[in-house]
Every structure is written in structure tokens, then in C-alpha cells.
């Protein structure tokens, strides 16, 4: 197995991320299954041991890449899968009300409630109901139309910032985190804090189904350009996605679902029922290049350190970083890919010897 590392990559860049994986995995029950693939059970302890061995090898891999084959068995656990991308958008914003920044970002409302359905029946284990209470009735939480166009949250002192463009708010909610550029030039991180629990609907698919944009070459940039050119359709189109995300401010970020900072071009968001958080994985794919035709090969060991509301099944979402290049890549990345899970060869041999 060869690793085509990509420009500017150093194996030692992975050290902080692997250390965070180990810290996360150390808090999981060692012998409990993290995931099962057919008859094969991968425990949290196996994932931790694999991370520890990878960490030990990092200083040697620059000159001895063959160690990756010698020390690990690479399992093709996930069939060919779709790779997409996400990034940290920049938004012009104000932390105080300002007529030049009319659109609010909201923190989690106090009347948003979450119910663990697994407490009621084992078949619902891991499922949660997000709701609000209206008199004596449990009802779905407010949707995008209620919040952005009917003022459902106005007057509740939930605003944490105000931005210039409502479409930018929509894009920020899809990405999950971003950076606010304030009038004095300073920057604050704005991070995912929760959601309203309603179904996510892809605006790109809506535009294609309505014949407003072609499927070929669909990207976030084309969606934004279409909305900018057709302001009269913004409300109608944005409200086709009832899902709504709430945020919090921080001086650092972005953070993934493990609570650890994300690493550009290395951290990935996954469905943790398919690829557990804290996993290492070999990703092989082809990436679009700005200003060039076609795609270039990309092979890298990535880390499952985040989840996403729209990331289901085998799909993998690559964190592309921040800035114009990251925005372009995340907006255009839809590539078929292969994912391989490494497991310590020594550990596998130890387990087979015990049988």
C-alpha cells in the first residue's frame, strides 16, 4: 500500500489528531464492539491499539512507508462510497444589532427539548426526538420558514451575531461552523451547537428537480450565484429545507463531534455506525482542481472525527479547511472513493493465536 501524500503533507502533522483519537478511545469500553462488519467485530480497544501503533511509526514513515503494510492489515470494510467536502465559510458579521447586518444567528432556544427514545424501547436505541411543547401538546420544533421568515424566535434574546446575507446563514448551517469577520477586522469562530430535528433537504436536488439548474457541474458556488441572481426566489427555495442549525461563539475551532479541533484534508465526517469516531482510514479518491479540467489522485490516511446530519451510510465528508481554495474544493467535491480500515497486524495475530 502506497500513500500519495499530497503537497505540503508531513506524517508528523497527524500527531495531534492521533493523540486526540487515543484520548477519545481511552474513554470507550475496551472490549465492546465499536462496529461489526459481517462476522468481524472491531472493538474500541482494537481501534485504540491501531492508533497507538500509528503514532509510534509516524517519525519513520517518511523514509519507511513500507511499514504501513508490515504493521497493519487494511480491510476494505466500506464498498465504493461517495466523498463530499465541507469547509469553514467566512461571513461578514456584527456582534451587536446593526442595520447593515440584518440576519441573526441564533443560539439553542430554551424551549427546544430532546427526548431519548431508547429509554422507551430497545428498538429505538440511539434515536432522539427533538420537540417543543405547546400547551399540553408535543409538537415539532419551528422550521426554517417559521424562524427566518415568520420571526418565531424574535424577542427571545437568542441572537449571538448578525450577518449581511441570509444565503450565507443558510450555507453556514450546511457547513456546521465558520468564521465571523467583524467590522473592526477581528475574527470569531461560530460553531455548531444544535439543530431543530427536522429533515435535511438538499437545495441542490430541489434546483435540479425544478429544472432551475443542471445536475452536471452542480456546486455550492452555482447555488449561491443562482440565489444572488434571483432574490425573488430566495424565500421559496430556502424554506424547502426545514432543517435549522443553532450556533455558539468561540475563540477557537472548528471542533468535530469528538470535541477535538478538525484538521484540514485529514479529518472526515462520517456516519459513526459505519466508521466509528476515532478510527483511522485510508481514503483513495480523485479531487477536483480549481482552474483545471479533470481530477487528480488523492490518497491519504484520514481520521473519523466528526459527524453530520446529512452524512448517512457509507458517505464520507472531507473537511477541506477555510479560505477560497477550501470553499472551491468543498463546493465541487463529489467523487467516488474507497475506504480501508487499518487494524494492528500484531493484534490480529494475537487474537488468532488465542482461538
* Three-state secondary-structure class, residue 15: helix
**Do residues 208 and 323 share a domain?**
no
Question: pLDDT, tens digit, for every residue of 295-316?
Answer: 899 999 999 999 987 788 889 9
Q: What is the pTM of this model?
A: 0.85
Residues pairing with 129 in the sheet = 115
Q: How far is CA 270 from CA 26, 159, 256, 275, in A?
A: 20, 30, 11, 6
Count of the separate structural domains present in the chain: 2
Q: Name the domain boundary from 193, 215, 250.
A: 250
DSSP structure string for 144-168: HIIIIIS-TTTTSS-EEEEES-HHH
Question: pLDDT, tens digit, for every residue of 181-197?
Answer: 999 999 999 999 999 99
**Do residues 183 and 329 share a domain?**
no
Asked whether residue 303 is domain-assigned, the answer is yes
- What CATH number is given to the structural domain containing 63? 2.40.40.10
Asked whether residue 52 is domain-assigned, the answer is yes
Asked whether residue 3 is domain-assigned, the answer is no
Q: What is the pLDDT of residue 292?
A: 67
Question: pLDDT, tens digit, for every residue of 86-114?
Answer: 999 999 999 999 999 999 999 999 999 99
Asked whether residue 240 is domain-assigned, the answer is yes
Q: Inform me whether the pLDDT recorded for 233 exceeds 60.
A: yes
**Do residues 134 and 228 share a domain?**
yes
> Residue 309 sits in which domain range?
11-86+256-354
Question: pLDDT, tens digit, for every residue of 258-296?
Answer: 988 999 999 999 999 999 999 999 999 999 988 767 789
Q: Inform me whether the pLDDT recorded for 214 exceeds 50.
A: yes
Asked whether residue 1 is domain-assigned, the answer is no
Q: What is the pLDDT of residue 2?
A: 41
Q: CA angle, 11 as apex, 273 and 3 as ends, to 5°?
A: 70
Asked whether residue 274 is domain-assigned, the answer is yes
Q: What is the pLDDT of residue 9?
A: 77
DSSP annotation of 293 reads S
Q: Inform me whether the pLDDT recorded for 131 exceeds 90.
A: yes
**Do residues 55 and 164 share a domain?**
no
Of the two residues 301 and 253, the one the predictor is more confident about is: 301
Q: What is the pLDDT of residue 3?
A: 40
What residues contact 137, with CB distance under 8 A and at least 6 apart?
A: none
Q: Put residue 120 in one of left, alpha, beta given phi > 0 → left and psi -120 to 50 → alpha.
A: alpha
Q: What is the mean pLDDT of the chain?
A: 92
Q: Name the domain boundary from 250, 279, 311.
A: 250
- Sorting pLDDT into bands at 50, 70 and 90, what band is 7? low
**Do residues 69 and 110 share a domain?**
no
Q: Which residue has cell 468543498?
A: 330
**Do residues 230 and 128 share a domain?**
yes
**Do residues 64 and 97 share a domain?**
no
**Do residues 229 and 144 share a domain?**
yes
Q: Inform me whether the pLDDT recorded for 142 exceeds 70.
A: yes
Q: Inform me whether the pLDDT recorded for 1 exceeds 50.
A: no
**Do residues 46 and 100 share a domain?**
no
Q: What is the pLDDT of residue 18?
A: 97
Asked whether residue 5 is domain-assigned, the answer is no
User: Is residue 44 within 8 Å of 28, Cβ to Cβ?
Assistant: yes
**Do residues 230 and 308 share a domain?**
no
Give the whole-number percent of the chain exceeding pLDDT 90: 78
Q: What is the pLDDT of residue 39?
A: 83
- Sorting pLDDT into bands at 50, 70 and 90, what band is 79? confident
Q: Inform me whether the pLDDT recorded for 4 exceeds 50.
A: no
Q: Name the domain boundary from 227, 250, 273.
A: 250
**Do residues 28 and 60 share a domain?**
yes
- Sorting pLDDT into bands at 50, 70 and 90, what band is 22? very high
C-alpha cell at 187: 475574527
- Taking the alpha carbons at both ends of the chain, their separation in whole angstroms is 28
Q: What is the pLDDT of residue 5?
A: 41
- Sorting pLDDT into bands at 50, 70 and 90, what band is 28? very high
**Do residues 125 and 148 share a domain?**
yes
Asked whether residue 246 is domain-assigned, the answer is yes
Residue 186 φ/ψ, nearest 5 degrees: -75, 165
- What CATH number is given to the structural domain containing 169? 2.40.240.50
Amino acid at each position: 500500500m502506497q500513500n500519495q501524500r499530497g503537497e505540503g503533507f508531513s506524517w508528523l502533522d497527524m500527531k495531534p489528531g492521533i493523540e486526540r483519537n487515543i484520548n477519545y478511545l481511552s474513554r470507550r469500553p475496551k472490549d465492546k464492539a465499536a462496529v461489526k462488519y459481517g462476522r468481524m467485530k472491531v472493538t474500541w480497544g482494537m481501534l485504540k491499539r491501531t492508533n497507538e501503533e500509528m503514532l509510534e511509526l509516524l517519525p519513520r514513515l517518511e523514509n519507511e512507508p513500507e511499514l504501513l503494510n508490515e504493521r497493519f492489515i487494511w480491510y476494505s470494510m466500506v464498498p465504493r462510497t461517495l466523498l463530499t467536502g465541507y469547509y469553514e465559510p467566512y461571513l461578514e458579521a456584527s456582534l451587536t444589532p446593526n442595520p447593515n447586518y440584518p440576519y441573526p444567528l441564533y443560539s439553542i432556544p430554551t424551549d427546544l427539548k430532546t427526548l431519548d427514545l431508547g429509554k422507551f424501547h430497545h428498538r429505538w436505541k440511539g434515536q432522539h426526538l427533538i420537540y417543543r411543547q405547546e400547551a399540553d401538546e408535543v409538537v415539532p420544533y419551528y422550521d426554517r420558514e417559521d424562524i427566518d421568515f415568520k420571526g418565531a424566535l424574535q424577542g427571545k434574546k437568542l441572537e449571538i451575531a448578525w450577518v449581511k446575507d441570509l444565503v450565507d446563514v443558510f450555507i453556514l448551517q450546511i457547513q456546521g461552523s465558520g468564521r465571523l469577520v467583524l467590522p473592526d477586522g477581528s475574527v470569531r469562530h461560530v460553531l455548531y451547537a444544535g439543530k431543530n430535528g427536522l429533515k435535511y433537504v438538499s437545495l441542490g436536488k430541489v434546483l435540479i428537480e425544478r429544472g432551475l439548474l443542471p445536475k452536471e457541474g452542480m456546486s455550492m458556488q452555482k447555488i449561491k450565484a443562482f440565489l444572488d441572481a434571483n432574490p425573488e426566489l430566495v424565500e421559496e427555495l430556502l424554506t424547502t429545507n426545514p432543517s435549522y442549525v443553532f450556533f455558539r461563539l468561540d475563540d477557537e475551532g472548528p471542533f468535530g463531534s469528538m470535541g477535538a479541533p478538525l484538521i484540514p484534508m485529514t479529518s472526515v465526517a462520517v456516519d459513526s455506525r459505519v466508521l466509528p469516531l476515532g478510527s483511522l482510514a485510508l481514503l483513495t479518491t480523485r479531487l477536483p482542481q480549481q482552474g483545471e479540467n479533470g481530477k487528480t489522485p488523492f490518497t491519504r490516511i484520514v481520521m473519523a472525527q466528526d459527524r453530520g446530519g446529512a452524512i448517512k451510510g457509507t458517505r464520507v465528508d472531507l473537511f477541506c479547511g477555510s479560505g477560497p481554495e477550501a470553499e472551491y474544493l468543498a463546493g465541487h467535491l463529489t467523487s467516488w472513493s474507497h475506504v480501508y480500515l487499518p487494524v494492528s497486524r500484531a493484534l490480529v495475530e494475537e487474537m488468532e493465536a488465542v482461538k
